[in-house]
Chain A
């Protein structure tokens, strides 16, 4: 990627003229910070001390839409790229400035402008963090119902740009299901609004064309989003099922009966086992030893401990895996020993793990909402699950999951610190293909790394599968090679069996090479939207399988 040539002095002068000197930075430390997001491949390079490869030329923090319009016009004039930047929590490299350019951080645009109780719609600026957004809505008696594990470090605009999903999406939908209108600064430097009742407007849905475009068509500055009254009642419960197939069928029966639990999460055998290792009966290690792991502390794993005795093995492969699950420090050689035998670990899942655990698979179900309907729906949901062979394990596992649900992201840093890598692959398919998708992707990743999965984000027509994999190699180059092979084989397997390559993390750089396989000729529509909204290819060039800069 060739960095575009820019007269830095002029750029700084012009940007300062737009937003003032305090909200522009061309300092090295800032440019390094905005050179990446949370894409694990970049974190591997960062850990190994590799030089930053793609830095923006400048970072700006606008406070008004008009400032963004002015910056876009300047970028068009200077022919430099613009990279929209929210919380920086993306895991696909979508915010990496491939050709340099101006990174626009939206976090100073963070007002919840209004909540219309009579329409159940709010108007919110794109830079507002997820956690603050929910807190402000809760204060007014509402919820957006969007709770990704990144909620502390992601923004509303980032959610919309990537078609994000929260953990309660089975009831509230993904973010694109709840957007009534967007305000966008396009690549032409114009402000457009896409509001209006879908069924009364003629022509393509611009809202649905721009949602998920990851900053390649324009910058989302604010949105009208559908809110719901804050839940009056929450009901959470744990179940166990004999195996994944039984659990999948049980979830399908619930959804297709017209019931809408807020959350259903089915953990496969290894994920169930790993989380039983991750029980919280030990004194956690101090968090401040880990500069990369912010709050909440690592000992509060996102997933609750499964009731029952811990495995007896204290040493060997499972003990190492257990330490990994708890986020404990492992020396690089120990980590390598734990993960280097990935094929062995993956093979024992069907045999040893089951025998050790004899627990089958864990299923967490939660419902929330208006009191009366939630009560009725919960009773029907639990009865349907039991009829499908699920065994009720009481409320505790459900509430423990809820309590620790954000912590998963914060358990990854120790793995990186100890010389390995961990990442997640979220694919989805219709129910008919779901078990094929599970087996194909699991076996593809399993050649290279330890892999576990849970099924979440269920719909009447299908479900998403969230694979977590952890791997290692002798050196950084080796780690990158293994990492790339996992994604290549995993996504090719997903496409082969008719799944989609991403349910909610997005595409960015990571999945850009697979977009042609995902959409085939239909990419022509995306390319036409790009030509229409961003004719000069200013916005986030080179991402999502769209063309780069010449």
Chain B
């Protein structure tokens, strides 16, 4: 039987699309169909590439094998909502925003993750790591994954045990999180969700410098404030984002914060941030800036200006050095860099730099210079790999997928 005929048998003709003579795009409607597609693709040693809401497969390798792109688009069902345990069991193809639309009317939410993250399908959010998938209050998105179902290369479907915590060996779901479809094809997940907070408060502060703003944030976090959002802008970035409404003088910084939870706790967290700001020489700033920031983040109002040129992740002790190093490097090369720092969690935060030369975006060589400067100051670049562990990842994959059909070319 040809591969095409096999795929038609697995999912039905209307859900098989010929991309070119050697590759197909299929849209299975159930995990059982995913398993069938992978089993049949495997019998042809065809490469299997998962495709989420973006419609784009990750890094297909360049060899001449037949390819099957498996879209999760029809796997878009919420399977169970356990309101007693605050868990939702949903299929991999539903996007975060679609899921929010189901949860919202019930007073529930996935959590304080940026909506831009939630435009992806659940499978994509879980399978591909980006530093933005984190929040100060709810942590890294993977920490919300309580259980996963996935299809392995041999067509077996696995379901990891759903329990709040356990001590029954390694966390097997975490082998699939971030694995970009190389270990298994994620078909559905059980996620922790949250009741919508009783109160949400926002505030804006002016601080003498970016360094002081970083110090204020960590002072507040040490006092156990658990804000739902925090962002530091340098003065230039504040001006770009808020126009002439920004009262921040050159060299100083703007900090905006949102707190949420029971009213007393949200107020407590806001007060802890305020007192940390005062301790670092800052003061309250225009409240409307914080409201605008929050609307842009969560109500879809556009942020002016081009998207950031460089995103890096930095731990608390490195943030200040990374900021200064990148800015100085750009100035030394006749360009400029401005930044905001956001997505704080236990590991640190993400620094978003926008670089320009003479009002134009910078070229690749300047970007490389900025990346090197950031890395030299201790930042983690996006998509970092622990290459020393590659041999172990390779062996893990070989053991589960001897014919290398699962997203070959990725994490290779």
Contact A196 B167 (CB under 8 A): no
> Would you give the shortest CB distance from B317 to chain A, in whole angstroms?
4
Q: Indicate if the CB atoms of A197 and B171 lie closer than 8 Å.
A: no
Cα-based distance from A210 to B345 in the complex (angstroms): 23
User: Chain A residues near B345 (CB, 8 Å)?
Assistant: 199
- Report the Cα distance A430→B162, complex, angstroms: 8
Going nearest first, the 7 A-B pairs with the smallest beta carbon separation are: A462-B164, A500-B163, A430-B85, A532-B395, A208-B174, A197-B347, A118-B317
Complex contacts, A528 vs chain B, CB 8 Å: 396, 399-400
Q: Counting chain A CB atoms within 10 Å of each CB, which of B129, B132, B162, B396 scores highest? A: B396
B211 located at the interface, meaning its Cβ lies under 8 Å from any Cβ of chain A in the complex: no
Which A residues lie within 8 Å of B132 (CB)? 199
Asked if B380 contacts A464 (CB within 8 A), the reply is no
Choice from B85, B166, B176 contacting A204 with Cβ under 8 Å: B176
Contact B225 A373 (CB under 8 A): yes
Q: Could you tell me the distance between the alpha carbons of A365 and B172 in the complex, rounded to whole angstroms?
A: 32
- Which residues on the A side are within 8 Å of B162 (C-beta)? 430, 498
A33 is an interface residue with CB less than 8 A from chain B: no
Q: How close is B166's CB to chain A, nearest CB, in angstroms?
A: 4
Chain B positions within 8 Å of A431 at CB level: 84-85
B281 CB → nearest A CB, Å: 19
Query: How far in angstroms is the closest Cβ of chain B from A102?
Result: 23
B156: chain A residues at CB < 8 Å are 521, 524
Interface magnitude class on chain A: 35 or more
Q: B170–A116 contact, CB under 8 A?
A: no
Q: Which A residues lie within 8 Å of B384 (CB)?
A: 196, 200-202
Known A-B contacts: A198-B129, A198-B178, A533-B392. Give 12 more (CB < 8 A): A116-B317, A200-B129, A200-B347, A200-B384, A202-B383, A205-B175, A209-B174, A370-B224, A461-B85, A507-B168, A529-B175, A544-B169
Please report the C-alpha to C-alpha distance between residue A288 and residue B134 in the assembled complex, in whole angstroms. 54
Docked Cα-Cα span, A463 to B163, in Å, equals: 9
227-267 of chain B: CB within 8 A of chain A? 261-262, 264-265
Closest CB in chain B relative to A93 CB, distance in Å: 14
Q: CB-nearest residue of chain A relative to B312?
A: A200
Q: Check if B380 sits within 8 Å of A200, measured CB to CB.
A: yes
Asked whether B129 lies within 8 Å of A211 as measured between CB atoms, the reply is no
**In the assembled complex, B158 has its CB within 8 A of some CB on chain A:** yes
Residues 421-450 of chain A, each 1 if its beta carbon lies under 8 Å from chain B, else 0: 000000011111000000000000000000
A residues 195-234 in Cβ contact with B at 8 Å = 196-206, 208-214, 217, 226, 229
CA gap between A511 and B42 in the complex, in Å: 35
- Residue of A176, A196, A432 touching B380 (CB-CB under 8 A): A196
B264 touches A373 (CB 8 A): no
Q: Are A460 and B192 in contact (CB under 8 A)?
A: yes
- The verdict on A459 contacting chain B, using a C-beta distance below 8 Å, is yes
Cα distance A462–B192 in the bound complex, in angstroms: 11
Q: Which residues of B contact A198 (CB under 8 A)?
A: 129, 140, 142, 178, 347
Tell whether A342 is near chain B: CB-to-CB under 8 Å. no
Interface residue? B372 (CB, 8 A): no
Contact yes or no, A526 B85, CB < 8 A? no
B385 proximity list for chain A (CB < 8 A): 201-203
Point out the residues of chain A lying under 8 angstroms from B146, CB to CB: 461
Contact assessment for A211 and B411 in the assembled complex, using a CB-CB cutoff below 8 Å: no
In the complex the two chains form, is A432's CB within 8 Å of B84's CB? yes
Q: Is B272 an interface residue (CB 8 A)?
A: yes
Instruction: Tell whether A502 is near chain B: CB-to-CB under 8 Å.
Output: yes
Count B interface residues, CB 8 Å.
Answer: 83
The residue in chain A whose Cβ has the minimal distance to the Cβ of B401 is: A528
In the complex, A192 has a CB within 8 A of chain B:
yes
Q: Return the chain B residue nearest A457 by Cβ.
A: B165
Q: Can you identify 20 A-B contacts, CB atoms within 8 angstroms?
A: A118-B316, A118-B317, A198-B129, A198-B142, A203-B178, A204-B176, A204-B393, A206-B389, A209-B175, A212-B167, A372-B272, A431-B85, A462-B163, A502-B166, A503-B166, A519-B172, A521-B152, A522-B172, A527-B399, A531-B396
The residue on A at minimum CB distance from B149 is A522
Judge if B19 is at the interface, Cβ distance under 8 Å.
no
Residue of A nearest to B267 (CB): A376
Contacts of B317 in A (CB 8 A): 116, 118-119
In the complex, identify which listed stretch (A49-57, A73-81, A157-165, A236-244) lies at the interface while the others stay far away.
A157-165
Q: Which of chain B's residues have a CB closer than 8 A to the CB of A372?
A: 223, 268, 271-272
> How does the 8 Å CB contact mask read for A357-374 relative to B, with 1 for contact and 0 for none?
000000000000110111
CB-CB under 8 A from B324, the residues of chain A are none
Cβ-based interface call for A114 (8 A): no
Does A377 sit within 8 A of B, measured CB to CB?
yes
Most B CB atoms within 10 A — which of A162, A369, A518, A527?
A518
Residue from A461, A501, A520 in contact with B159 in the complex, judged by beta carbons closer than 8 Å: A520
Give Cα A501 to B172, complex, Å. Answer: 15
B285 at the interface (CB under 8 A from A): no
Q: Is A323 an interface residue (CB 8 A)?
A: no
B87 contacts the other chain (CB 8 A): yes
Q: Within the assembled complex, what's the spacing in Å between the Cα atoms of A253 and B411?
A: 43
Interface flag for A311 (CB, 8 Å) = no
A464 touching B164, Cβ below 8 Å:
yes
A461 touches B87 (CB 8 A): yes
Closest chain B CB from A464 CB (angstroms): 7
B313 on the A face (CB < 8 A): yes
B28 within 8 A of A: no
Asked whether any CB of chain B lies closer than 8 Å to the CB of A186, the reply is: yes
Q: Give bound CA distance, A464 to B166, whole Å.
A: 9
Docked complex Cα distance between A464 and B86 (Å): 16
Contacts of A373 in B (CB 8 A): 223-225, 265, 268-269, 272
In contact, A428 and B168 (Cβ under 8 angstroms): no
Interface mask (B170-203 → A, CB under 8 Å = 1, otherwise 0): 1110111111100110000000101101000000
Query: Using Cβ atoms and an 8 Å threshold, which residues of chain B touch A213?
Result: 169-170
In chain B, positions 261-301 with a C-beta closer than 8 Å to chain A are 261-262, 264-265, 268-269, 271-272
A481: Cβ under 8 A from any B Cβ: no
In the complex, chain B residues whose CB is within 8 Å of the CB of A201? 129, 178, 380, 384-386
A379 contacts the other chain (Cβ, under 8 Å)?
Answer: yes
- Residues on B with C-beta less than 8 A from A432 are 82, 84-85
Inter-subunit contact B268/A376 (CB<8 Å)? yes
**Cα(A502)–Cα(B320), bound, Å:** 43
CA distance A259 to B272 in the complex (A): 17
